[in-house]
Structure 1
């Protein structure tokens, strides 16, 4: 029942994506086909933020359309979040179907999901969906010597590891659950297994950062821009406690832009508070509750003046910590405890109401206070069709994959055919060639610099009207203008043009240092962990189901 209900809620959220087309919204970029380019392997100047995600899409899109893969993974992430929350509630609270349904609702129908959808963080939501399953696996490891939880932990952490943030979230939940009581594997062994799996799964982006040297202290300048944001009528702390507060005020559902956000937050926190006494009586749940408190309080503290100064200093000293500058995304760590408390609310309310009535009241209240999460967050998350010219220029570049320079210079694009929201340039994920990108972001009038120094030099050349010979010597093979009429200062041979795009042939080439074999091997290790974990988990469950104990 809980799995079916979770699927129904997930479909209600993602339904517009079932239409033909591609997810193209802010950071979400899907294309018909991706390739194992240097960027997809983490060998570009940019920090490895989308590994091994880009590798996985490149491999699988050779068989299935890349847009379909992204849609399926997004739907699966939300479904797994709800279903996993129900499984966690059943394990820790012995909650019946009524409590499990409320846990499902809290996990799927909340501001965090809405805001990350609107920001285009589909792969982060896959990692988010793995969190309750990771908690279940570790709690079973602590209480059992069976091999099934170990295989489950390997699989769920590998799946969460589709992005670095997803893996770090999963590893944090796992390490928190190590402190739960149990008579199975000891804490030190569970912690060692968790850390060992995390390092194994992280090999793609750990090696990419080391080989490409792409981590930069320039990420520290974005700490203020990416700080958690207070919603109307709520301070930063309460916004985060309500699972909201994303840095981008444009990536929020309409219901969170008014004082109605106070009502929605109050409903969620009241339901959590009702179930909290029940949850705290279960010792296995206490580490998750502590983690939830930390996940709310620390991002709120990092949004203060001293917190931001500390964060900037940390990132300048250790550039790898740039992953923490978007502090609100770590509020996902509160979800497993919130789901447990939501299930516990039914146990509290059944003193006065039948369990089914209590569950229905909680679920209706949660959904009614954020009705615009339905239908792609009020129709903002939809499938988009590319104009035909994009396919044409991708084919032309793929036939001769030389480095590509792109105008306009901003990383984000505003395409009339893709809706009102800006979107990352789709070209780097659609061609075999290296697409030069600075990674610069303009947030609220402030430019947050990226890591693309070579791209910045080439773009400066383009803007001053460099000749074909100069660009070729700089290693530029193609120039693409992605915004209507090409600028007059470009005097280059035109290979293709239409109302949306212009492609210039330059003919230069660039061969940088490469470690492709090493990076392919690292990604293969991650993929093997995913497959082995899935097979091992499936076999262990089949054995448990069909093995009859001797009498």
Structure 2
């Protein structure tokens, strides 16, 4: 699935952007007009890219996230349905990794969301171990809960998914830690991990109601021959019809969905006998039904009203991504299928048939979703332009004005502008998106004003007074602006303006909030390691 990413180059596909180096700009810290959607992701990549090439960092995290999803699903199957054994774990792992949700999010470029997705079964298993008290009491520590929630918290959505799974898992019966203590641990870990994007809107005043305008465009979508509800039950239905594997764009989607649903449904009755599994199975039902309801007329109106009332909840717009909450329940049910059928069919045979069937109905997920998820090489001019701006990092205005770009060297799919992550200067972006011929406005009011000035032929002194230091025109022929040219080639043109804008006075606060998240991640990992070492010294078996 990810083999093409092992080649040299950078992941640049729709929302996925990687560059050789990233910087702790105001945008990376959430101190801009835009909602803090990529915190602390941008902070983490910026820090890591000064040690390892940023392209390697992003590709490694994506591959790790998918690997964790499969391994975690197998572990969760072993915790919730021990009778399934290794055959059941194989089914759970295959189902977690090889499904339309993973394919569509890969094509949409949501690599960090897939990292959070990969943490969900680990979160569930960690909380279930706390509740059931499996093993020596000193072994059942809360460090794994802290670590997995913090790692899922690479993005706000990942953290919300992990927190939901953790709290639902607290409802499982058990003789271990109390429900209230497990819930307190889960919420505490979530709050610590959420500090970067909880603090950012307060520091930057970036809460906006413009996100309510895009609710209908981001609703879940029915696949060919299937209603929205059934598409979601088959873990498909992303809002962007262009980010869908070819096999899901035909009536073959009916067969593929039927296979996945049958594998899961066959094991539900057996899984229900496990008290630990019941809350996660209920969550899976909600994770499918709720996005389907959100795609109806009343549902769209309700979501829009909520986003207008609480602007920070614009994250709810992309309803289909919440189907990830079904992963733990689906994994347990998939593992249970081999138990359901073991009286008639050997468990190994059932596992082999289920795994092969899941692979067969989504063949184009192989090799980077049919060769679409592959690294690209930046033209030499981009490195030159970035170095020029980094030598004198003043605010940058960019043309063309759209947030998504089409570069001939980056394939057919549109991509987010990589410049804001490649330079240490703040790049003024509107955040406007064009979906199905309709423009969904972003939060960049100031960027929109500056773009009007540049496109209107403003002089150097006018742009400088507006706080513009550079103007960059990406791709194609430059529009003949009456500005001093600092660099130009066939791919990018850089104009020097010289305007300045004071940096934010809240950078220290935001860096501290990010360091709290990083400390939670490191503390969780260290605690897990210390627990494993202590357990081995006592000769315990995990």
Please give the range of the TM-score, normalised by the shorter of the 2 chains: over 0.9
- Equivalent in 82, 88, 91 of residue 76 of structure 2: 88
Do the aligned residues in 2 keep the contact of 1:82 with 1:105 (CA within 8 Å)?
yes
Q: Structure 1 pair 362/345, CA: closer, same or farther in 2 (3 Å)?
A: same
Q: Does 1:101 align with 2:93?
A: no
CA drift at 1:146: 3.1
Structure 1 position 77, deviation (Å): 0.3
Aligned residue in 2 for 1:258: 250
Q: Give the SS at the match of 1:383.
A: coil
Of residues 438, 441, 457 in structure 2, which corresponds to 1:446?
A: 438
The residue aligned with 2:535 is 544
Q: Check conservation: 1:148, 1:536, Cα contact below 8 A.
A: no
Please tell me whether the aligned partners of residues 402 and 434 of structure 1 are also in contact (alpha carbons under 8 angstroms).
Answer: yes
CA deviation vs aligned residue, 1:343-382 (integer Å, no higher than 9, x gap): 1111112222111111100000000000000000000000
Shift of the 353–332 alpha-carbon distance from structure 1 to 2, 3 Å rule, reads same
Q: Match for residue 531 of structure 1?
A: 522
Q: Tell whether 2:455 aligns with 1:478.
A: no
For 1:35, the equivalent position in structure 2 comes to: 23
| Aligned partner of 1:177 among 148, 152, 169 | 169
CA deviation map 1:9-51 (0-9, x unaligned): xxxx111011000000000000000011111111111110000
Q: Please say if 1:342 is aligned against 2:334.
A: yes
> Residue 519 of structure 1 aligns with which residue?
510
Query: What is the CA–CA distance in structure 2 between the aligned matches of 1:547 and 1:513, rounded to whole Å?
Result: 52
Report the 3-state secondary structure (helix = DSSP H, G, I; strand = E; otherwise coil) of the residue aligned with 2:217: coil
> What is the distance in 1 between the residues matched to 2:257 and 2:190?
34
Provide the residue aligned with 1:140 in structure 2: 129
Q: Which moved more, 1:59-68 or 1:140-149?
A: 140-149
1:53 alignment counterpart: 41
In 1, Cα distance between equivalents of 2:354 and 2:23: 46
- 1:194 paired with 2:148, answer no
> How far off its partner does 1:513 sit?
3.8
**Structure 1 Cα separation of the partners of residues 72 and 391 of structure 2:** 45
Distance 1:514 1:77 in 2: 35
- For residues 525 and 163 of structure 2, the distance between their equivalents in structure 1, rounded to whole angstroms, comes to 18
List gaps (5 residues or longer) in structure 2. Answer: none
The equivalent position to 1:71 in structure 2, one of 56, 59, 62, is: 59
Deviation at 1:509, TM superposition (A): 0.8
Runs of 4+ in 1 over 4 A off after TM superposition: none
Q: For 2:226 and 2:539, how far apart are their aligned partners in 1?
A: 56
Question: What is the correspondence of 1:254-333 to structure 2 with a 5 Å cutoff?
Answer: 254-333=246-325
- Contact kept? 2:26, 2:504, Cα under 8 Å: no
C-alpha spacing 1:149/1:234, structure 2 compared with 1 (3 Å): farther
Counterpart in 2 of 1:495?
486
Q: Is the 8 A contact 2:381 2:489 kept in 1?
A: yes
Indicate if the aligned counterparts of 1:92 and 1:282 stay in contact, CA closer than 8 A.
yes
Whether 1:436 aligns to 2:424 is no
Within a 5 Å distance, the mapping from 1:224-263 to structure 2 comes to 224-263=216-255
1:316 is displaced (CA, Å) by 0.5
- Other-structure match for 1:122: 111
Q: Could you tell me how far 1:149 is from its partner in structure 2?
A: 3.5
User: SS at the partner of 2:173?
Assistant: coil
Could you tell me how far apart the structure 2 residues matched to 1:399 and 1:88 are? 50
Mind listing any 5+ residue stretches in structure 1 that lack a counterpart? 1-12
Provide the residue aligned with 1:165 in structure 2.
157
Q: Is the 8 A contact 1:216 1:451 kept in 2?
A: yes
Deviation of the 1:514 alpha carbon: 2.5
Query: How many Å separate the matches in 1 of 2:139 and 2:169?
Result: 18
TM-superposed deviation, 1:317 = 0.5
- The superposition leaves residues 284-329 of structure 1 with CA deviations (integer Å, 9 ceiling, x where unpaired) of 1000001000000000000000100111011001001101110000
3-state SS, counterpart of residue 142 of structure 2: helix
Query: Which residue does 1:505 correspond to in 2?
Result: 496
Contact 1:93–1:344 (Cα < 8 Å) also in 2: yes
Q: Tell me which moved more, 510-519 or 177-186.
A: 510-519
Q: 1:149 to 1:241 in 2, by over 3 A?
A: farther
Does 278-287 or 513-522 show the bigger shift?
A: 513-522
- Give the Å deviation of 1:512: 5.0
SS for the counterpart of 2:427 is coil
Given candidates 394, 403, 412, the residue that maps to 2:395 is 403
Corresponding position of 2:413: 421
In the alignment, is the contact (CA less than 8 A) between 1:138 and 1:149 conserved in 2?
A: no
Quote the offset at 1:511 in angstroms.
1.3
Give TM-score scaled by structure 2 length: 0.98
Q: CA–CA distance in 2 between the matches of 1:88 and 1:58?
A: 33
Residue of structure 2 in register with 1:3 after alignment:
none
- Mapped to 2, the partners of 1:463 and 1:235 lie a distance apart of 44
Match of 1:207 in 2: 199
Paired residue total:
536
Return the offset for 1:548. Answer: 4.4
SS of the residue 1:503 aligns to: strand
